[in-house]
Amino acid sequence: MPQQANQPLPAGYVLNGYRIEKPLSSGGFSIVYLARDETGTPFAIKEYLPSSLPLRTEGVEVQLTDESNVAMFRHGLKCFFEEGRALAMISHPNVVRVENFFRANETCYMVMQYVRGRTLQFHIQRHRHEFTEAFIRRIFIHLMNGLREVHSSKLLHLDIKPANIFIAMEGRPVLLDFGAARITLSEEAMKLKPMYTAGFAAPEHYRFKPEELGPWSDIYSVGATIYTCIAGTPPQAGDQREEKDRIIPLRTLARQEYSEDLYQIVDDCLQLEFMKRPQTAYELQRRLMNEPGSEKRGFLETINRPLSKLFSR
């Protein structure tokens, strides 16, 4: 994670009616805080603050001293607005909800619903040996509900990875961080610099040919995420695979038994040629729901079970 050189807002600071409690995380372009409104309801507030620019060495105001920084700062704001726009359009239990968006301290803030839980990345690091096939299928079947919603709003997430999937206390996966999201068919959004995470981005994403990007690009990332759940490490990066494909077969990395069907699903999602992948989140969801061998599990049965039970075998 890139270092944030900038000062976080101090605890107790009241921002537009929200009292800051503490920073939750910080990344290359933002700091996320836990904050509460007057009624005590918790929220996650994301503050736009590019870490590469020295913007706040003291106090709370963001200070743009260098005129060359102004252009960079404002350019980055565009991406932040894209994220706000993307999230504002969606209301779904498997997608983080944005509640408010405002300008203050010479920068912008996005107020999001606060979800108690941990990222999938955290669980992979701590509990990978406990990731049963049932657990993986369940998480991703639900996540596909959220992704279907995203795609049906004509959006692509474009940065799906374990760190951007939150597992709420009750076991519900929530898709986070739409910082790379793009509104498809919008010229403007497609001009923005592509962002990606090695290992999770589809090969066409590296080429940055907007016309090749589609739901199948997010499907590749979902495949890479399932791969990571089983293998513990992400697959070889998509751009390198195109040069020389040395992806390690998932079967050889698994620490427990998974069905041939699940391996096949992951392989299909990770196809270099995007036409060979499941083309939609719905198609992938159907395949995940079709667990062979085991008696058909009721879809509704999987909802609202405590996480501890999901892990048990």
- Give the interface with other proteins as residue ranges (CB under 8 A): 52, 67-68, 71-72, 74-75, 77-78, 81, 84-85, 88-91, 97-103, 108, 191-194, 206-208, 239, 243
Q: How far is the CB of 271 from other proteins (least distance, A)?
A: 20
Both tokens assigned to 124: 């992979």
Q: How far is the CB of 129 from other proteins (least distance, A)?
A: 36
Written as one string, the DSSP assignment of the chain is -PPP-SPPPPTT-EETTEEEEEEEEE-SSEEEEEEE-TT--EEEEEEE--TTS---SSSSS----SHHHHHHHHHHHHHHHHHHHHHHT---TTBPPEEEEEEETTEEEEEEE---EEEHHHHHHHHGGG--HHHHHHHHHHHHHHHHHHHHTTEE----SGGGEEEETTS-EEE---TT-EETT-HHHHHSPP---TTTS-HHHHHT-GGG-SHHHHHHHHHHHHHHHHHSSPPSPHHHHHHS--PPPGGGT-SS---HHHHHHHHHHT-SSGGGS--SHHHHHHHHH--SSSPPPPTGGGTT--HHHHH--
Min dist CB 12 to other proteins, Å, is: 26
In the complex, least distance from residue 89 CB atom to other proteins, rounded to whole angstroms: 6
Q: Which is nearer to other proteins, 188 or 260 (CB)?
A: 188
- Which residue lies nearer to other proteins by CB, 69 or 259? 69
Which CB, 50 or 173, lies closer to other proteins?
50
Nearer to other proteins, 158 or 230 (CB): 158
Q: Considering the complex, state which of residue 109 and residue 166 has its C-beta at the smaller distance from other proteins.
A: 109
In whole angstroms, the minimum distance from the beta carbon of 184 to other proteins comes to 17
Cβ 88 to other proteins, closest distance in Å? 4
Beta bridge partners of 32: 25, 46
When the beta carbons of 57 and 91 are compared against other proteins, the nearer one is 91
Nearer to other proteins, 86 or 144 (CB): 86
Q: Residue 205 CB, nearest distance to other proteins (Å)?
A: 11
